[in-house]
Every structure is written in structure tokens, then in C-alpha cells.
Structure 1
Amino acid sequence: MAELRTLVIVLGDQLDLDASAFDGFDPRTDTVWMAEVAEESTHVWSSQPRTAMFLAAMRHFALALQGAGRPLRYMRLDAPDNQGSLAAQLHADIVRLRPARLVMTAPGDWRVLKAIQGVAQTCALPLDIRDDRHFYTTVREFAAHARGRKSLRMEYFYREQRKRHRVLMDPQDDAQPLGGQWNFDADNREAFGAAGPGMVPPRSMFAPDAVTREVLELVAQRFASHPGSLAQFAWPVTRAQALQALHTFVDERLSLFGRYQDAMWPGNPWLYHAHLSAALNLKLLNPREVVEAAVAAHDAGRAPLSSVEGFVRQILGWREYVRGIYWTQMPGYLSRNMLGATADLPGWYWTGDTDMACLRDALTQTLTHGYANHIQRLMVTGLYALMFGVEPQQVHAWYLSVYVDAVEWVELPNTLGMGQYADGGLMGSKPYIATGKYIERMSPHCQGCRYDPAQRTGDRACPFTTLYWDFLMRHETLLAKNPRMALQVKNLARLDDAQRQSVVDRADAIRRGAVS
């Protein structure tokens, strides 16, 4: 057998034929290595849709590699000699293949990086880790931006990105944003009227082909005890499908994305959102082509600037920003718990079995599709966990488990930082807390709910409202020092001792599970 010069490691979220790991690839001397391992579905209790998304996309990418003439060593999950973990499988294959060196694009997960580095060290092989060109910004560039800053606000980073990459900038003055303002929040984030969203153009759905059907059968058998459903699995798992989903969104829903990006409606999971994050995070799409497609729609008069800017901010701003936060703050970031939260995540997060209409809808949708929009994540499931006082690491594990787009570099900062304020304000200037009145304003969920968002105590009190006031009292000293929370904390003065005790008693009942 010819000597193997390079083993090119490709992870399940690196499905890009143009990745940096392939620079200089020679099919005569190099081989690609990929492995499906149970560990990636068990280190957190990964839902069936999430596991199926990764495996189906990996198997289709393996076919693309073979079509491109790149030799491939691919270990299937159901192979009899599968070692079960990424590190063990890589070590076994290195012993078998005897490469001279290892090459890979930088992983998105600290745990995986350390595991692969450990194997390389054990096997005394050089490991060449290359920048991930999938992103606009390198980790080093974000670190330079962050250096010397006490807080890391996305808005300042986003403006730098807009200028640097000349996205939505004034053609007459390249220092000024197109339209004269950096964001259009005032024009966006409306709720639907009483009649609801009406006929929303449908999302792109892809009937499982033979490869995906085989994966669905495997996942249903191998991970039968894991949460979620595969009955409606229709996610894009190939590059061609991802591109189709992108163009469908831009052509049919982008124009109203901004206006309704924060709106919710019972039984309507998809609305005007893009549903592209999983394809982006698996590298089936490049963020540059996504941004360029949205900007081109504006330039052609097919989408207003307010919607396009709101969408671009999610890709060029927020997505790049959370990756920078992750890689400049790990590994310590994972253990942060600034509010000292210690409660266990309510068990009904895994079933959707709750009387709270908004949570029931968001959780049922999540378990069925592996998807929820950002408001359902931040201001429904995340908000409740924050005010309940759930240990943030448990919240992190749940989010990483249930969503098809969840990879740690993007999920962890969103959960611990933005959702749970566990980083003490590194990302967000305040905890995002609200009573049930917020949900009533943004959706009709409260109309059919047994709980009343206007009440904070009593049998009909909305748990969101009770826990809001309880949260303010538990963290009153800390929150009073935060200028953005001062007005909310001052409202506590309206409560006498008896009213405060009633809130505490009701909140205790909620945490005991007497109210759910």
C-alpha cells in the first residue's frame, strides 16, 4: 500500500468541499477521515431530529467527496468495529492507516479540539489546524477587537464588520450605513394582528431520500429513548437543498422577515424566518453567499432595507460575535453561573407537558421539529428557565440536545450569556426578564391559557409574572446597580411585606412543581 501522507479530518459540522483542510489535497497521497460515533449523541441527550440531521448530512457529504475523487475513510455508526467515541475511533484508524500527519479545519467545539489534540499527541503526529474560512472573522481578529474592553457589545463589533466588509454601506460615504442608520428595530418586531399571520409562504421541505431514510431508521432504533420525533423530518441535508432553501427564503419571506421576526403564533412554527441556521452551522452554506443573496434582494427592490438589515445583522453581526465570545472565553465560560442558579430544569421541558400555553407550544414544536425561533428560545423557554433559577449548565445541555442547529460555539454563548445572564453581563447589558404581559403582547397564547399574565399571585397567576417579581426580589441588590434595570427594581417599592411574601410562596410552589 502506498504511504499515506495526510489524513484530513472532517467533522460532522464541516461539510464544505472548499474547506481549508482540503488546501493542497492530493488524492494520490491523502485520505479524508470521517466518523459517526455514538458519543456525539450521548455526551448530551441529543434529540432524534438533531442526530438525524448530522448523520444524514454527513452521509450525503461522503457521497460528494467520492464524487469529487477524494479518497475517504468513513466509519458508520452501525459498523461492528465502531469505537463509539471520536478520539477512540481516530486513534484506531491512525494505527491502521499510519498517516504521516493530520490536517483539519479548526473545530467549532472546545471538547472536540482537545480530544483530537490529545490523539495527535499520543500518536506523535503533527496536527495542522487551519482557520475556518467559513466565517468572516478569525478568532484572532475577534480577540484583537475584544482586547481592553470591559464589556463586549455586539453592536460595536457589528458596525466594524459592516464597514470592513462593505455590507449595506452608503455608496457615497463608505463610513456611513445605507439608509442613515445602523439598525431598523423601530420598523421591525411587530406582532401579528388579531387575524393572525394569514397565508405565510411555506418553508422549504425536502422529502427524505434513500440515504436519509436509512439514517432515520437507524436513529429511531439506536436512539429510541432519546427525545423528539422523526415523523416530520424534512431539513436540507445537502448543499443543493440548502441553496434551494436560501433562495426560497429570500424570494418569498425575506421581505416581511424584519417586521415579524419577534412575532409568535400558536401552531405556526415557521412564519417568516429563514430556517437556514442548521445548514449554515453544518457548512452546507457559506455566510457570505447568504448575506449577498439578501443584499441583492434589497438592491433589486424585492425586500426593504429594514428586513434585509435585520437579517444581515443575524449573520454578519450576531453569528460572528458569539463565535468570538466562545473561543476567547473558553474553557472557563462553560462553568459560569453569576446569578448562582441551582434549580433543576423542569422535567416537562423534555415532554411539553405544561399548562402554560406559550411554553407548551414552543416545547411541542421543538420536540417535533428540532426548531424554535429566537424569540421562543430567548423569551419563552430561556426566560422561564432564567427566572425559575435553573442551573445554567442544565439549560445549556437542553438547548444543545434539542435543536438541529445546535453546535456548542453558537449555542453556549446564546444560552449562558444572552439567555441566562450567567456571564454577568459580558454579552448582555442586563438580564432579559419580563412578565407574561410580554408574551401576551407578542402572541395570542395567553387567550387560551389557564393563567392570567396580569396576575402575579393566586391560582390563576401566570408563572412568568410570578417568577418575574420573585427574580427581582432575589437579585434586588445586584440589579439595582444596573442602570438598565433601575426602573424595574424601583417597582418593587409598590409591594408591601405581605405582597412580597405572597410572591415568594407562589414562586416556591412553582419550583416544587405544584404549578406547571
Structure 2
Amino acid sequence: MAKTLRLILGDQLNSNHSWYTKTNADITYILLEVMQEQQYVMHHVQKIMAFFAAMRNFAHQLEKRGHQVIYVKLNDKDNQQDFEQNLKRLIDQQEIDRFEYQLPDEYRLDEQLKSICLSLSIETGFADTEHFLTGRSDVQNFFGDKKRFLMETFYRNMRNKLHILMNGEDPTGNRWNFDADNRKKYDNKVPLQDAITFDHDVSVLKGMIDKMGVKYFGNIDEKHLEWPLSRQEALKSLDYFCHHLLPHFGTYEDAMLQNHISLFHSRLSFVLNVKMLSPVEVITKVLNHYEQNQETITLAQVEGYIRQVIGWREFMRGIYWAHMPGYEEKNFFNHTTEMPHWFWGGNTKMNCLNKCIGQSLDHAWAHHIQRLMVIGNFALLAGINPDEVDAWYLGVYIDAIQWVEITNTRGMSQFADGGIISSKPYVASAAYINKMSDYCKHCYYDYKKKVGDRACPYNSLYWNFFDRNADQLKKNPRIGMAYMTLKKMKPEEKALLMEQAEKYLGDLNGL
């Protein structure tokens, strides 16, 4: 029989894929640690460790099931440090007759693998990852020629198509969306739960990347890496979420606390995005647990989570494939400001950013409101170059792969796509951050002050953002109130606000 080499990428750790149903001595699987993937962006050290450790474990599990596996470590002497050269070397050495791969979720890798296949003199083929609930083009096909894709419309279609939380053609509870119920500040009415963590010694891996000169940022306790690195641990994390966190997830999903980083969030994004878990098994587990525990779990908790998995996650992937290439270059506001140095250390006097960036550097994770309404909000108000914002988000978060990162960052957070994803920019003054967190109570700045000594930067930057972008935004019906308020401002009040904002914009590193 023809000898086949099958490539498995670091985010394709799906042990239930049909590739692995049967063992075949003529099929060899290959996983590669390459500098190519460490250099296109600088990653958080925990992200590198988690990917490498999870890949190594996956290879080991395949071998235990009887599959033929080649694993190329970063420091192997024959490692050519990119996919193409390594694959061509092994195809020659192993006398391979056919090469196959699973469709990548990043455009750059999709293009690279198509190019590699064209350059090979052997048969090639590809397979679906068998992970997502939609195909690459489903979102584009659903919306057709419309300029703006509405997630809510897509989400309702997914609910109908998959018959999830439905009574016939009507939504369970007679409401599609419980988002309005899920915006509460943490009020101490229910006890907080610790996130589930694991205890992995990755000191050998850390030593290897240091010797290889890999550039990284962020912090790590290399003796105690906390993230799930195997399917068994991923399933344990899912079970923990259902039993301990799901009962209050929806209510407090937007809340933030400076001394508790995750509240009731599942932190399953890493294991989902590397495909240790599938969205089908996650939502099946959540729905089954809800059915069995309706006396302690309300519909709002479950709908809020289901919306993230079958709605937002699939929607963002569809946007990515509908608008790549080119999406990574969008800069609607022509922002060019350099990112402040404290994004790499967290040492800013703004407590909300100090805590959210510090948490990101310490844990390679933050929840969606910390990413969107604290860090992303500031970046947009300050006019930071979206190229730099993209690179930081793609590098810092353990779950960040371009298909999900760039749509959330350049699209939803920075409005750099001009409204493809969001109908308005997600910006807010200090009042919102104070409403949803306890950060402002412990801050050097006064969240109530708009101008003057120790006035919170978010306040004047908020009005400066709308003023400087009036030509692009004033006709947007969703933010008309902001421009009505600006118009009614006394000239001297507005002048003071703009002066305060320019002072802060002139010294972002000093904030």
C-alpha cells in the first residue's frame, strides 16, 4: 500500500477525528515544533509551554493507540524549523507516496500548506478538522451580499438548525437572548468559586526554548503550569464548570474583580481552540447538566454560555474566512499611536489596566469583558495602532489563534473593520468600569473626575474619541446620544475635556 504522511498542527489535537478510527502501519502522523511558529508573533511563555506540552501528550496518546508517529522537537538536530523544509525532508527519508493534512484555521497556514502541496511530486490531500459546527463559508453564504453581518441573526439560525433550547420553532422561555439579565456586578450574594487548575512541571520544556533562543514575554511558574494539557484534563475542566460555575455564569459573566480573575467563567477556550474538546460535546454536557439541575440553574445561565459557543465562536470564524486576506490590514480610524510600554509589564497607575494586563501576563488569560471593555477600550480611546494591538492580543492569550483573535480584536474591540462585526465602537468612560468592577475603589485616579489632577483618563479620552472621529461616526444611529451630549456641552467645558485628553495622549507611558 502507499505510504502516507499526515500532518497534525498544534491546534488540531482532536483525538476523536476519523483519521484515528483505525490503525494502519502505512500511515504515519507527524507533529512539528518549529521556530516558524515562534517568530510570526512573540508569544506568552505559558502559551508556548501549553501548546508544546499538549502536542507531546497527544503524540504519546496516538502511539499508545497503535499509530505510527513522528514527533520533531524544537531542538532536534535535523529540525529545519519550518513546515515546508521538514515535510520535504521526511517525505524523502521515509519514501512517502502521499501527503495529507487537516484544513488549518489560520489563513497564513492554509496558504502555506496549499503551496507545499503544489511543490510536491507525490499525491496530496486534505481533510476537515471535524470540529466546528459550520463550514468555512457558511457565515458568508448565510448573509450573502450584506455589508454588515449581525451575530444575533446568525445565532438564532444556529439555534433553529441545531434545535438547541427550542420548543418547536420558538425559543425556550420565549426569549432568544438573556443578555440583558447577564450584566450584573458581583454583589456577594453567592460565594465565589476557584478556577480548576492543574500542576504541570514544564521546566525541561522551558529550558529547551531558552537554549533555542525563543523570544517570549509574560510570567510562568515552570514547576506548576496550571492549564489542562490532555483530553482527560479537558473533560475534567468541563465537568468542573458544569457543577461549580455554570449555576452563576450568566449572571456575572460581565463582572470583574481585582482579587478573583475568573469568577464563574469556564476557561475552556484553550482546550476548545486546540480541539481537545469539541463544541458539540461541550454544549451537550452543559444542556444535559441543565436538564438535570433546573432547580439550581436558570435558563439565563445556560443560554448565555450556549450563545458564546454556537453563536459567537462560529460567527467569528465565519467572519474571518469571509474577509481574509485583507482583514488584518483594516484600520478604519487610521490609528498610529505606539502601544505604551506598560502593556508589557502592567505597571500603570490605572488600576483596572494594571490588574487586567497584570493578570494577562501572569496567567495568559483574561475574560471577555477584561479584554474588551478595559484593555481594548483603552487601546481604542488612545488611538493605538491596531497592528500592535493585534500582535499583543495574539501573543498574550493562551487561547489566541488568529481566526478568533483578530476578529475579536481588530473587529469588535478596535472597530478597525469599520463595522463589519459591530454596529458601533465598544468604548466607555470610567462609569462603566466602576459599575462592573471593584477596580476604581483602589485606583490612583478618581473615576468621577473628568478633568483636573488625578482625573480618570477614560473620561476625557472617551469624549476626545467621539470628537476626533465625528466625521466617521456622527451619522451612526447607535451613538447619536454621544454627539447630542457633545453638541450641548458648554464650549469651555468641552475645551477643558479636550485639553485633559491631549495631555494624557501626549504621555501615555506616564499614565
- With structure 2 as the length reference, what TM-score do the two structures score? 0.95
Q: What is the alpha-carbon distance in structure 1 between the residues aligned to residue 250 and residue 61 of structure 2?
A: 35
* Alpha-carbon distance change, 115 to 387 in structure 1, aligned in 2, over 3 angstroms: same
Q: CA deviation at 1:40?
A: 1.3
Aligned to 2:435: 441
Aligned to 2:192: 200
Which of 479, 485, 504 matches 2:479? 485
Alignment pair present for 1:247 and 2:239: yes
Q: What is the alpha-carbon distance in structure 2 between the residues aligned to residue 432 and residue 502 of structure 1?
A: 24
Aligned to 1:104: 101
Aligned to 2:72: 75
Q: What is the alpha-carbon distance in structure 2 between the residues aligned to residue 269 and residue 306 of structure 1?
A: 22
Aligned to 1:45: 42
Alignment pair present for 1:420 and 2:414: yes
* Alpha-carbon distance change, 289 to 512 in structure 1, aligned in 2, over 3 angstroms: same
Aligned to 2:323: 329
Aligned to 1:237: 229
Aligned to 2:7: 9
Aligned to 1:408: 402
Alignment pair present for 1:130 and 2:120: no
Percent identity at matched positions?
36
Q: What is the alpha-carbon distance in structure 2 between the residues aligned to residue 318 and residue 397 of structure 1?
A: 22
* Alpha-carbon distance change, 95 to 344 in structure 1, aligned in 2, over 3 angstroms: farther
Aligned to 2:217: 227
Corresponding letter in the other structure for 1:293: K
Q: What is the alpha-carbon distance in structure 1 between the residues aligned to residue 88 and residue 475 of structure 2?
A: 52
Q: CA deviation at 1:26?
A: 5.3
Aligned to 2:392: 398
Identify unmatched segments of 5+ residues in structure 1: none
Q: Is the 8 A contact 1:4 1:97 kept in 2?
A: no
Q: What is the alpha-carbon distance in structure 2 between the residues aligned to residue 23 and residue 233 of structure 1?
A: 29
Q: Is the 8 A contact 2:25 2:67 kept in 1?
A: no
Corresponding letter in the other structure for 2:7: I
Q: What is the alpha-carbon distance in structure 2 between the residues aligned to residue 97 and residue 17 of structure 1?
A: 24
**Which stretch has the larger CA shift, 43-52 or 183-192?**
183-192
* Alpha-carbon distance change, 357 to 198 in structure 1, aligned in 2, over 3 angstroms: farther
Q: What is the alpha-carbon distance in structure 2 between the residues aligned to residue 72 and residue 320 of structure 1?
A: 31
Q: CA deviation at 1:309?
A: 0.4
* Alpha-carbon distance change, 24 to 63 in structure 1, aligned in 2, over 3 angstroms: closer
Aligned to 2:183: 189
Q: CA deviation at 1:222?
A: 4.4
**Which stretch has the larger CA shift, 3-12 or 42-51?**
3-12
Q: Is the 8 A contact 2:336 2:385 kept in 1?
A: yes
Q: Is the 8 A contact 1:52 1:219 kept in 2?
A: no
Corresponding letter in the other structure for 1:36: E
**Which stretch has the larger CA shift, 129-138 or 271-280?**
129-138
* Alpha-carbon distance change, 249 to 24 in structure 1, aligned in 2, over 3 angstroms: closer
Q: CA deviation at 1:89?
A: 2.2
Q: Is the 8 A contact 2:463 2:497 kept in 1?
A: yes
Which of 285, 291, 295 matches 2:283? 291
Corresponding letter in the other structure for 1:229: N
Aligned length: 506
Which of 13, 29, 50 matches 1:32? 29
* Alpha-carbon distance change, 221 to 443 in structure 1, aligned in 2, over 3 angstroms: farther
In the TM superposition, 1:330-369 aligns within 5 A as 330-369=324-363
**Which stretch has the larger CA shift, 286-295 or 94-103?**
94-103
Q: Is the 8 A contact 1:216 1:230 kept in 2?
A: no
Two-structure CA RMSD over aligned residues (Å): 1.8
**Which stretch has the larger CA shift, 96-105 or 251-260?**
96-105
* Alpha-carbon distance change, 223 to 25 in structure 1, aligned in 2, over 3 angstroms: farther
Q: Is the 8 A contact 1:48 1:220 kept in 2?
A: no
Q: Is the 8 A contact 2:386 2:416 kept in 1?
A: yes
Corresponding letter in the other structure for 1:345: M
Q: What SS does the aligned partner of 2:141 have?
A: helix
> Once the two structures are superposed, what CA deviation does each residue of 1:213-237 show, in whole Å capped at 9, x if it has no partner?
4324434554675211121521000
- With structure 1 as the length reference, what TM-score do the two structures score? 0.94
Aligned to 1:62: 59
Which of 243, 258, 261 matches 2:253? 261
Q: What SS does the aligned partner of 1:334 have?
A: helix
Q: What is the alpha-carbon distance in structure 1 between the residues aligned to residue 400 and residue 92 of structure 2?
A: 32
Corresponding letter in the other structure for 2:204: E
Q: CA deviation at 1:462?
A: 0.9
> Once the two structures are superposed, what CA deviation does each residue of 1:310-364 show, in whole Å capped at 9, x if it has no partner?
0000001000000001111101111111111111111111110100000000011
> Once the two structures are superposed, what CA deviation does each residue of 1:253-308 show, in whole Å capped at 9, x if it has no partner?
10000000000011211210000000000111011111011111221124211000
Corresponding letter in the other structure for 2:458: F
Identify unmatched segments of 5+ residues in structure 2: none
